[in-house]
Amino acid sequence: MIVAGLLRRPSRWLIGATAMVLAFLLAPVGPARAAGDVPVPAVSFKDKGAGAVSDADKDFVIKVRLAGLWEVVAGNMAVDKSDDPKIVTIGKTISAQHVALDKLDRDAAKKLGIQLPNKPNTDQQFWLDEMEKANATTFDQIYVDRLRAAHGKIFPAIATIRASTRNDTVRQLAQQANQFVMTHMTLLESSGIVDYSALPTAPAPAAPGAAKGPVPMDGQMIAKASTTNGLPGVSTNMILVVLAAALLAGVITTMRIFRTR
């Protein structure tokens, strides 16, 4: 009876240990952070002016300068002409932030030898004249709609340069400009008077097979690639099941050895 009890004890212990290991192996694998968290990468750029500067890069640096040349003036008009405290705050904030962005842009242009304009282009001057002629009743709508449309145009241009530039200074400027522009779009939309129906619509997606060059991986392909461990057709879940089965077989064999002894 004593010997039989001793033999049962290791068997129970092994069964319990096996259950814990199986639970660990078969538990869902996922990121440690909560589902609602948004990862904010801490990225530092070299910003030494290294890397080729394309014509698109130069055009981007110039456009950032042009944006500041008219939006600082427009923001100051909002402070002087609007009767809505919310619009006044929006104008003051955007104007001040464009002063800061303009300095970053001028520093980048100096480092890269890019000649910058000193006055708004024809379209921007037309918008400023339109705001100048507006009264307190019509100014707010004109100000918000013109700036929101302008930010909507520069936003995808920033993304293109950020994704494609070879120059580290331009890359950093695009990163900084993206944060400014997103903030300004949000501020303008907080006014509650943006006429979204007047904004340009996104272009239709390209027909299947029309894209040239390397095809980027979509979400499903990335998810599949992340679970193959380098073995085609073999997922992480399949490997865990095989390991669990092998462990269970080892436990059964060990139990039989104990019983025989």
Q: Alpha carbon of 58 to those of 49, 110, 164: distances in Å? A: 13, 12, 13
Q: Is residue 212 part of a domain?
A: no
DSSP H helices in the chain: 2-26, 55-81, 85-112, 122-133, 136-164, 168-189, 219-225, 236-260
Cα 28 off chain centre by:
26
Instruction: State residue 258's pLDDT score.
Output: 55
Q: Is residue 43 part of a domain?
A: no
- Which residue pairs from 158-165 have beta carbons closer than 8 angstroms and sit at least 24 positions apart in sequence? 158/60, 160/56, 161/56, 161/57, 161/60, 164/56, 165/51, 165/54, 165/56, 165/57
Instruction: State residue 30's pLDDT score.
Output: 45
Q: Is residue 36 part of a domain?
A: no
Kindly list the averaged pLDDT for each block of 10 residues, start to end, along the chain of length 261: 47 56 49 46 67 95 97 97 96 96 96 96 97 94 96 93 95 94 95 93 80 54 46 57 64 60 50
Q: What's the rounded Cα separation, in Å, for the pair 10 and 226? A: 39
Model pTM score:
0.64
Instruction: State residue 25's pLDDT score.
Output: 47
- Of 198, 214, 246, the residue at which a domain comes to its end is 198
Q: What's the rounded Cα separation, in Å, for the pair 167 and 239? A: 43
pLDDT in tens, 56-105: 999 999 999 999 999 999 999 999 999 999 999 999 999 999 999 999 99
For residue 178, the one-letter residue type is: N
For residue 104, the one-letter residue type is: L
Q: What range does the domain containing 10 cover?
A: 1-29+236-261
Q: Is residue 14 part of a domain?
A: yes
Instruction: State residue 40's pLDDT score.
Output: 46
Same-domain status, 142 and 259:
no
Would you give the DSSP letter of residue 198? G
For residue 75, the one-letter residue type is: G
Q: Is residue 91 part of a domain?
A: yes
Task: Find, among 134, 129, 141, 116, the residue nearest to 70 by Cα.
Answer: 129
Q: What's the rounded Cα separation, in Å, for the pair 45 and 58? A: 19
Instruction: State residue 216's pLDDT score.
Output: 55
Q: Are 156 and 60 in contact (CB under 8 A)?
A: no
Instruction: State residue 29's pLDDT score.
Output: 45
- Of 198, 213, 248, the residue at which a domain comes to its end is 198
Task: Find, among 182, 78, 67, 184, the residue nearest to 123 by Cα.
Answer: 67
Same-domain status, 168 and 255:
no
Q: Is residue 37 part of a domain?
A: no
Which CATH number do you get for residue 80?
1.20.1260.10
Same-domain status, 180 and 260:
no
Local structure of 191: helix, strand or coil: coil
Q: Is residue 208 part of a domain?
A: no
Same-domain status, 66 and 175:
yes
Both tokens assigned to 221: 């392909």
Same-domain status, 106 and 160:
yes
Q: Is residue 161 part of a domain?
A: yes
Same-domain status, 141 and 252:
no
Instruction: State residue 7's pLDDT score.
Output: 45
Same-domain status, 25 and 60:
no
- Which residue pairs from 49-55 have beta carbons closer than 8 angstroms and sit at least 24 positions apart in sequence? 49/111, 49/112, 49/167, 49/168, 49/169, 50/167, 50/168, 50/169, 51/165, 51/166, 51/167, 51/168, 51/170, 52/166, 52/167, 53/112, 53/114, 53/166, 53/167, 53/170, 54/165, 54/166
Same-domain status, 12 and 65:
no
Same-domain status, 65 and 166:
yes
Same-domain status, 159 and 243:
no
The total domain count for the chain is 2
